[in-house]
Amino acid sequence: MPDLALLLLDLLGIAVFAATGALVAVRKELDVFGAIVLGGITGLGGGVLRDLLIGSVPPAALVDWRYLITPVAAAVIVFVFHPAVGRMEKQIGVLDAVGLALFCVTGAVKAHDAGLGIIASALCGMLTAIGGGMMRDVLAGRVPVIFREELYATPAFTGALLAVLAAEIGLGPWTYVVSAAICLVWRLLALWRGWRAPLPPGLDRG
């Protein structure tokens, strides 16, 4: 994959994830530094986890200033331009879905480039996509969104797997866009339609 395209998609994913972290921080009435730290961990946590798992240390997020400035800028922008912090759960959900779609693909491609196999690369992609949000929710004292919202990890794993398969058989970078789009649409439909995965037998949440 062209390095520049991968970098831009990665930075965009970091920005939107950092924005979700900063929004959670604003809703929790944290100050500007809390918003930056929580935004930074949300935006960079998944990628750092992936880099640790594939042995790429020090992680790109620590040594590349573009990875550092992005979540800080996103967090500050969210912090400053949000005087009326009402009920933002819906916007957080959409941004989160965009970050999920971008990260599952870039994470999977990076792991594949590092020599991991198909399934391992897809798992790394999924972990890249859900890792930052899990850290955000655990640190904010919330049950991770992955366990509250159905069909969260599955679209991420699917998007990651599609991207790795496309790379494996040598299709062009446009397939990454398709993979991310499938993950995004699936996740948004699940979010908006309230799609539910099977519950434990004998349980009825309704």
What is the distance between the alpha carbons of residues 140 and 150, in angstroms, rounded to a whole number? Answer: 20
Longest dimension (CA), the chain: 52
- Strands (E) in the chain, as ranges, are none
Identity of the residue, 5 or 28, whose beta carbon is nearer to a copy of itself in the bound complex: 28
Identity of the residue, 69 or 171, whose beta carbon is nearer to a copy of itself in the bound complex: 69
Residue with tokens 């967090």: 75
CB of 106 to a copy of itself, least distance (A): 17
Using N-to-C axis directions, what is the helix angle for 118-139 and 89-113, rounded to 10°? 140
**Do 100 and 184 contact (CB within 8 A), yes or no?**
yes
CB of 113 to a copy of itself, least distance (A): 13
In the numeric block, which tokens belong to residue 56? 């790429």
Q: Give the amino acid at 189.
A: L
What is the distance between the alpha carbons of residues 52 and 150, in angstroms, rounded to a whole number? Answer: 28
CB of 193 to a copy of itself, least distance (A): 15
CB of 159 to a copy of itself, least distance (A): 15
CB of 20 to a copy of itself, least distance (A): 15
CB of 5 to a copy of itself, least distance (A): 25
Torsion of CA 43, 47, 52, 53, to 10 degrees: 130
Identity of the residue, 82 or 94, whose beta carbon is nearer to a copy of itself in the bound complex: 82
Identity of the residue, 15 or 25, whose beta carbon is nearer to a copy of itself in the bound complex: 25
Positions in the binding site for a copy of itself (CB under 8 A): 25-26, 28-35, 37-38, 48, 52-55, 57-59, 62-63, 65, 68, 79-80, 82-85, 111, 114, 116-117, 119-120, 123-124, 134, 138-141, 143-144, 146-147, 150-154, 196-203, 205
Identity of the residue, 93 or 144, whose beta carbon is nearer to a copy of itself in the bound complex: 144
Identity of the residue, 15 or 190, whose beta carbon is nearer to a copy of itself in the bound complex: 190
**Do 40 and 70 contact (CB within 8 A), yes or no?**
no
